[in-house]
Amino acid sequence: MKRLVTCLLLILPLLGVLKISSQEINREVLPILPPPLPTYSELDVRNTTPPTPFSVTAPENAPNVVVVLIDDLGFGATTAYGGPINTPTMDRLSKNGLRYNNFHTTALCSPTRMAIKTGRNHHTCNTGSIMETATAYPGNSGDLPNSVAPLA
């Protein structure tokens, strides 16, 4: 049940169902948690009041961020980073923004993906190897803990 509620809280903001002012959200502690949901004893929904809508939106004047993640492509392969593969759209995007060039890869797709999505070490995200070889052991379960907030 807890996972279902968590999934709904993640999906509903995407559908525009839940909203709250960005000024009311503490952005110093991540992940941003929704307020506790009320409990109901009434069985007829017509006799209840729905909970206050909640979603996390970008604050005013927040920058646009584009993260391009391509599996199995070397760091210096694209023209944006001096490589031989012509990538004119990436070149245009990178010329008008920031290009980061100090990213640690893990030599495996799933852990690298998790590291860039969270900004954390892949073991902290329980992605010690590719998802198909996940185990029940800490650091390799493949289950993203609630203590790790994805950048998105």
pLDDT tens column, 103-138 = 667 878 889 888 888 888 899 999 999 999 999 888
The total domain count for the chain is 1
* pLDDT computed for residue 24 by the predictor: 65
**Residue 98 reports pLDDT greater than 90:** no
d(CA 108, CA 12): 32
* pLDDT computed for residue 7 by the predictor: 42
Q: What is the mean pLDDT of the chain?
A: 78
* pLDDT computed for residue 132 by the predictor: 93
Q: Is residue 44 part of a domain?
A: yes
Q: Is residue 8 part of a domain?
A: yes
Q: Model confidence over 4-39: pLDDT tens digits?
A: 434 444 444 444 444 444 446 777 877 788 888 888
Task: Cite the beta strand spans of the chain per DSSP E.
Answer: none
* pLDDT computed for residue 48 by the predictor: 93
d(CA 146, CA 148): 5
Q: Which residue has the higher pLDDT, 126 or 64?
A: 126
DSSP 8-state code for residue 78:
B
Range of the domain at 50: 1-60
d(CA 127, CA 140): 5
Q: Is residue 90 part of a domain?
A: no
Q: Is residue 131 part of a domain?
A: no
Task: Give this prediction's pTM.
Answer: 0.46
Q: Is residue 127 part of a domain?
A: no
Q: Is residue 87 part of a domain?
A: no
User: 17 vs 20, 23, 24, 55, CA distance in Å?
Assistant: 10, 19, 18, 8
Q: Is residue 91 part of a domain?
A: no
d(CA 85, CA 88): 10
Q: Is residue 105 part of a domain?
A: no
d(CA 75, CA 83): 9
**Residue 151 reports pLDDT greater than 80:** no
